[in-house]
Structure 1
């Protein structure tokens, strides 16, 4: 089995990060909120160090698992900021669980070597795409929190998700959808107009493959969600369902396509 990192430092960082995520994922309630938050912060720091170590390596690799890993880290970054503004927001165990899975996947499936190109647009193109993934992941997390809060209100089990007002969660969700939509639009524009310059080959420019088809479909879904919110007042479960559909299409766009290529077909492109 080829691991993402054969170096002792990389393996140690991966093991420490996965363990740090697993602790609050499995025992958040037993630990208490403050202790779980501190351990999750340690895991987030270790995760960031691991990402930097892998990307700055002599032979960096990237694939579907690495994209998921960065997406989870970005979602945790958003949560770390929001938890300072809304201490009542509680999604630690779920985010920690996703973090554990992402670290393990990234270690087992190392991806493929990054293409050699002199274009400075390639890192920008990838950064825009991954940032869009992170914003939509944060939106999905807020949609899940909003749905759970609504269910708790209906059953009168709690007044809401950790005391965070339902309208606040909804407003935050749409803000992340809007930010993700802008980033995804820029990613598509870069791929459409600068594909040849980014990848250095006409064959790797814009073409209608599975990745781009699913990505455009997700863009259209998110556009419909934002227009529906603006013109038709979409909210609640309807808005969350559309968000989930768009996120699933976006996930199939890169992560799904790369998973099929790397794992099922054993190809690099």
Structure 2
């Protein structure tokens, strides 16, 4: 199906996706000239429109899913975390970056809505998907915090840190909390995947998704062990987290991108 007929076939999703992308774009462009309440309000509007797009997608028949919707849900979860934390820590500032991220994933999901799933092999399969997406969101939140931590550390080294900046140790603590939570959910996701493979296929299925997900799980396990036993922090910890997140991105989104976009296979 070509792009224009596909967009016209689900007009509400197209309209609200456009509204969310426009709100994100406006925030990214105008936030330096906006007051804090104004930028928070606009980000909240974009977040709500983004949520509406995701909810409308749940009622599509047949259900569709793919790499872009997965990234869209992940981006929305990261924004949810930021909206909550910005209330607790007003010093946290990443609106421009997150607005660009939100705009990108909304438009990507609009162009690549995924492949249809007319029938589920198990009624519990959505639980496996939910666990996987939640682990994506938590680990993506950890990556955002690690980036903020690197930025704060650089500002301290250059003598540009202000008293109103987010404390470095607080960012570090939040980063590893998200890593630990993401690791726990990814463990549950892999266990659920193993259960479904044994139930449906009577064997563990080794594919790109499984291999990269396990590599991500092992890398995060090493990171948490290094933090606990060796006191890893700073560049070593951040780079290890980036590697783990990269493996996880390749695990589902990367493999589905190759199948859907490059190979045109479901």
Which of the five TM-score ranges fits, normalised by the shorter chain? over 0.9
Q: Which residue of the partner structure matches residue 68 of structure 1? A: 71
4+ residue runs over 6 A deviation: none
Question: What TM-score do you get using the length of structure 2 for normalisation?
Answer: 0.95
1:1-269 aligned at under 5 Å gives the runs 1-2=2-3, 3=6, 6-117=9-120, 119-159=122-162, 163-197=165-199, 201-202=200-201, 206-268=204-266
| Structure 2, unaligned runs of 5 or more | none
Instruction: Summarize the Cα distance change of 1:4–1:174 in structure 2 as closer, same or farther, 3 Å threshold.
Output: farther
Structure 1 residues 228-237 or 186-195, which shifts more?
A: 186-195
Tell me how large the CA RMSD over aligned residues is: 1.6
Q: Equivalent residue of 2:242, what SS?
A: helix
Aligned-partner Cα distance in 1 for 2:35–2:140: 25
The answer as to whether partners of 1:5 and 1:54 remain within 8 angstroms in 2 is no
| Cα deviation digits, residues 150-193 of structure 1 (max 9, x gap) | 00111111237x52110000000000000000000000011112
Cα shift at 1:24: 1.0
| Cα deviation digits, residues 86-110 of structure 1 (max 9, x gap) | 0110011101100000011101111
Aligned-partner Cα distance in 2 for 1:227–1:115: 42
Cα shift at 1:114: 2.1
Question: What TM-score do you get using the length of structure 1 for normalisation?
Answer: 0.94
Q: Equivalent residue of 1:113, what SS?
A: strand
Cα shift at 1:196: 5.0
Aligned-partner Cα distance in 2 for 1:11–1:98: 18
Aligned-partner Cα distance in 2 for 1:118–1:263: 24
Cα shift at 1:119: 2.5
Aligned-partner Cα distance in 2 for 1:242–1:118: 36
| Structure 1, unaligned runs of 5 or more | none
Cα shift at 1:208: 1.1
The answer as to whether partners of 1:4 and 1:111 remain within 8 angstroms in 2 is no
Aligned-partner Cα distance in 2 for 1:134–1:8: 27
Q: How many residues align?
A: 263
Structure 1 residues 28-37 or 208-217, which shifts more?
A: 28-37
